[in-house]
Structure 1
C-alpha cells in the first residue's frame, strides 16, 4: 500500500539543450524518493486505539513468525486511504483508511499485506530496484550527453527521454512484484490465523471504486507502483475462497471495539458538523454517543459533551476509556479537580496505561494544589518508564520538577520532550543546562549528555540537507 512516487511521468517532454543539467538532477532526485519521513506527519496516539490495533494484529504476527514485541501499528492523522511500512517492524495507517473501512476484518486484510512487506524485506530491497533503474538512467545520460556534444541535439535528447522511460518502467515493475508478493504473504497469514479474507477483498473493491472515480485507466497496471485493484481482487478471490476461514465470522468483540474507535477517530479528526451529520441525535448507539461527545467537546460545548460521556458511563461504569473521556472533558473545560476521580479510576483499571496516566498527571498539576505534586511526579515517572516516546508526559514531568524546585531535572525532562518533537536546537539548550546542574557522571547527567550528542548530530544533518 505504499506510494513511492507522485509524479506524472507522462508530462515529461523533450527539453531544450539548456535544461539538460536540470533534467539529470530532477530524474535522479525522483529515483531517490521513498516514503515521506514519518517525522513530517502528525501521529495520533490514543490508549484505546493502540490496544485495539495490538489485538487485531497479534494473530497475524503470530503466524508470520515475527517478534510480537517488535511489531507496532502507528496511526497518522491524514485523510488519505493509505498504509505503509518504513523500516523496522512498524506499520503506519492513515486515519483516512480507518474511516473508510467498514469493519475490523477489512483493516486486518491491510495489516496482513503490510506484514508481508516486512517479512519480505521489501524496504531493505528497495535499493535493488533503485540501483537497476539508476544504472539505466546514468547510461542514457552518458550516451545522450555524448550525442548532444557531437551536435546531434535531437537524438541526444531522445536518448535521455528513452532512458528515463526505461528506468522508470524497470523500477515500477520491481515495485509491482513486491506488492504481489505482499498480497500473497498476506493471504497466507490471514488463512493461518483463521481470519477470513472477505475483508481484504471488500477493501480492494473500495480501492477499485476509488480508482474509477478518479478516472484511473483500468486496462493494465503499467506505469504504476501497484497492480490494479481489480487485478488483485481477481487473483486473491480464488485463494481466499478456497481457505477454510472464508466463511468464518469476525470476532464480534473486535468488531464492536473497531466501531467505537472508528467513531471516536471521526469525532476527533473531522469537522464537528460532519460528525453530527453522520451520527445524529437519533442514533443512540455507543459509537454514535462516542463520536458526538468528541464533536461537542471540539465545538466547545462541554455540557453536551459531558451528557454523552455520562450516558456512556451509565451503560458501562467501569469502562476505562469512557472514564478517560469524561475526565478529559472536565479537565479541558477548566475543571481539573472534577477530572481527578475519573482519571484516577481509569489509570487503575488500565494498570497505569501511560497515555492515560500522563493525562492524569496533567490534571493533578492543573489543580495548582501543591498537595498533588508528589503524586503527579510518581504518576508521570511511571508513565515515561513504560513509554518514553511521549513528549507530553515528559513536558508535564518537567513542570512538576520545576514546581518542586529541581530546575536541572526540569530541563532534562524538557530536553527529552524537545528531542521527541525533533526540536533539536531546544534539546541541545535544555540538555546542556541540565548537565550544568546535575552531578557529573550520574545516570541523569549521562542521559543529558546523550541527548546533547543525538540532538547535535541531527541538527547538523538537517542543516547539511539544506
Structure 2
C-alpha cells in the first residue's frame, strides 16, 4: 500500500448515503434518478423558451422551505421543500416555467440596470437634499432626501413586480408550447398566496422573493384558460416519476417514524416502497430495506435505480462483495449515468483488491469525463491511482476533487505535487498548471477576504473595549 493511498484514505470523509448524496456542506443533493427526471420534465420548457437544455444547470438543495431561484448564467436552484409541497408534476412544472423566464427574459441583466436606475435616483436626491440643507433649508433638504429614497425604492419594487408578471405570462406560454396544462402553476401560486398574510419570518422564501397578488393570478387564469391543454390531467408517466421522487426525498429527509406513517405497509406502490427503503435504512433495519428493494426490482426488473438502491444498501451494510454484481447490473442498464458508475467504482475500490482497483480506474475516469464536478468519483479515482502506485495521477485527481469542490488552497497543494510528477508540457502537466493558476487566484482572494474580516473584527473589539 502506497504512502499516498494511506494519506487519501485517512484524510477524506465519504458523504454518500444511498443514491442521494450531499455535496458542498451538505446543501446540494445529488441523485442519478432525480437529476435525470428534472431534466426530462423541464427540457421541453427550456426548448419552448429558446434555451439549450444542456446549458441549463439544475441543482436540488437540501432545504425544506418552498423556494426556487435563478443565479448567474443559466442555473436554477430548487429547494427540496418545493418538490415535497407540490401535489403533482404540473404544479412543479408551473414553477419551473416561471423561473425559466427569469433566464430567457434576461431578468438578471435587466435587474442590474434597474438597480442602477434606482441608485441614480437615490444619489441625486441625496445631492439635492444636501444642497438644500447647506442653503439653510434643513427641513426641505431632509424632505428631498426621504422622497428620493422612497422614489428609488418604488422604482425598483415596481420593476420587480413587472418582472414577476412577465415571468407568469411567459411561463404559461412555455407550458402551452410544451403541451403542458397551465393550471398547475395557478394551483401552486394560490397555495403560496395564502402565506402572504404571515409575518416574514414565517413565510417561505418564494413568497418573499416572488410577491403574489390576486390581480396577477386572475391575469394568469385568463391566459391558461385559453390553452388547448386546459383542463387536462398531468401526464401519468411523468406524475408517477414525480411521486417517486417525492417519496425518495421524504424517506431521505424525514425521520423514519414520519415516513412510515405517511407511507404505511398497506401501500404497496413503488413510491411507498421507495420511501420505506430510506426509512428502514435510516433506522438500520437492513433486512427490511433490502426486502423493499427486492420488491421494487420484482416490479420493474429493468429499472437501474432500483438496483442502485439495493447495491448501496448492501455496500453500506458491509456486504461489499454482494453489492458488486448489483451495481454492475445498474451500470449495464444505465451505462451513461456517471453517479451510478461512481457507486460501482467506489465499491470496487473499497475492496482494496488490486485487480478490482485496476478495473475501477477506467470506470471512474469515464465518470469524471461525463461529470467534472463529481467529487466522489475524483476521490475514488485518486484512491485507486495511489493504490496502483500512480502517484502523480493520484495528486492530479485529488487536485481536481478540491478544485471542483471549491477548496482552492488544497487544490493548489495537490496541483503542485502533480506538476512535479508529470513531464512538462504533457496534457496532465498542463491541466495541473491550469488548476494551480486558477486556484492560486481564488485562494488569494479568499485570504484577502479573511484578512478584511479579521481587521473588521479587531476594530469591533477595540470599539467595545473603549
TM class, shorter-length: 0.7 to 0.9
Structure 2 equivalent of residue 189 of structure 1: 174
Contact map agreement 1:172 1:225 (CA 8 A) in 2? no
| Range that drifts further, 41-50 or 160-169 | 160-169
Q: Distance in 1 between matches of 2:317 and 2:130?
A: 67
Q: Distance in 2 between matches of 1:211 and 1:91?
A: 24
Structure 2 equivalent of residue 220 of structure 1: none
Match of 2:53, SS? coil
Aligned residue pair count: 423
Structure 1 residue 147 displacement after superposition:
5.4
Match status 1:416 vs 2:387? no
Match of 1:196, SS? coil
Structure 1 residue 169 displacement after superposition:
1.6
Q: Distance in 1 between matches of 2:199 and 2:214?
A: 15
Structure 1 residue 89 displacement after superposition:
2.1
Match status 1:164 vs 2:164? no
Contact map agreement 2:88 2:234 (CA 8 A) in 1? no
Q: Which has the higher contact order (CA 8 A, sep 6+)?
A: 2
Q: Distance in 1 between matches of 2:198 and 2:208?
A: 17
Structure 1 residue 145 displacement after superposition:
4.3
Structure 1 equivalent of residue 89 of structure 2: 104
Contact map agreement 1:175 1:225 (CA 8 A) in 2? no
Structure 1 equivalent of residue 287 of structure 2: 303
Q: Distance in 2 between matches of 1:147 and 1:352?
A: 69
Structure 2 equivalent of residue 453 of structure 1: 437
Match status 1:116 vs 2:101? yes
Match of 2:310, SS? helix
Structure 1 equivalent of residue 116 of structure 2: 131
| Range that drifts further, 66-75 or 129-138 | 66-75
Query: TM-score scaled by structure 2?
Result: 0.86
2:78 to 93, 98, 117: 93
Match status 1:338 vs 2:322? yes
Match of 2:78, SS? strand
Q: Distance in 2 between matches of 1:127 and 1:285?
A: 48
Structure 1 equivalent of residue 45 of structure 2: 60
Q: Distance in 1 between matches of 2:109 and 2:26?
A: 22
Matches within 5 A, 1:56-455: 56-146=41-131, 157-214=142-199, 226-455=210-439
Q: Distance in 2 between matches of 1:153 and 1:343?
A: 76
Structure 1 residue 412 displacement after superposition:
0.7
Change (3 A) 1:270 1:148: farther
Q: Distance in 2 between matches of 1:143 and 1:60?
A: 48
Contact map agreement 1:137 1:164 (CA 8 A) in 2? yes
Match of 1:248, SS? coil
Contact map agreement 2:200 2:208 (CA 8 A) in 1? no
Residues 53-108 of structure 1 show CA distances to partners (whole Å, capped at 9, x for unaligned) of 11101222222222222123221111121111112222221111011111111111
Q: Distance in 1 between matches of 2:403 and 2:133?
A: 50
Q: Distance in 2 between matches of 1:266 and 1:341?
A: 28
2:32 to 47, 62, 83: 47
Structure 1 residue 178 displacement after superposition:
1.0
Q: Distance in 2 between matches of 1:397 and 1:336?
A: 18
Structure 1 residue 227 displacement after superposition:
4.2
Structure 1 residue 122 displacement after superposition:
0.7
Structure 1 residue 154 displacement after superposition:
6.0
Contact map agreement 1:176 1:224 (CA 8 A) in 2? no
Residues 182-226 of structure 1 show CA distances to partners (whole Å, capped at 9, x for unaligned) of 11111111111211011111111111123245589xxxxxx9754
**For structure 2, which runs of at least 5 residues remain unmatched after alignment?**
1-22, 202-206, 453-466
Contact map agreement 1:204 1:232 (CA 8 A) in 2? no
Q: Distance in 2 between matches of 1:70 and 1:175?
A: 25
Change (3 A) 1:68 1:133: same
Q: RMSD of aligned C-alpha atoms?
A: 2.2
